[in-house]
Amino acid sequence: MPSGNVYRITRVVGSSDSGLDDAIRGAVTRASQTLRNLDWFEVKEIRGFIEGDAPRWYQVTLDIGFRVESDDDMTEESAAR
Q: What pLDDT sits at residue 5?
A: 87
Q: Within a domain: residue 1?
A: no
- Provide the CATH number for the domain around residue 50: 3.30.1660.10
**Those residues with Cβ within 8 angstroms of residue 33's Cβ, 6 or more apart along the chain or in another chain:** none
Q: How many domains does the chain have?
A: 1
If 0-12 CB within 10 Å is exposed, 13-18 middle and 19+ buried, where does residue 14 land?
buried
**How large is the average pLDDT for residues 4-16?**
94
pTM higher than 0.85, yes or no?
no
Strand 7-16 vs strand 54-67: parallel, antiparallel, or unpaired? antiparallel
Give the max Cα distance, the chain. Answer: 59
pLDDT digits (tens, 9 = 90+) for 22-81: 999 999 999 999 999 999 999 999 999 999 999 999 999 999 999 998 656 555 555 554
Contact of 1 with 41, CB cutoff 8 Å: no
Structural domain containing residue 72: 7-79
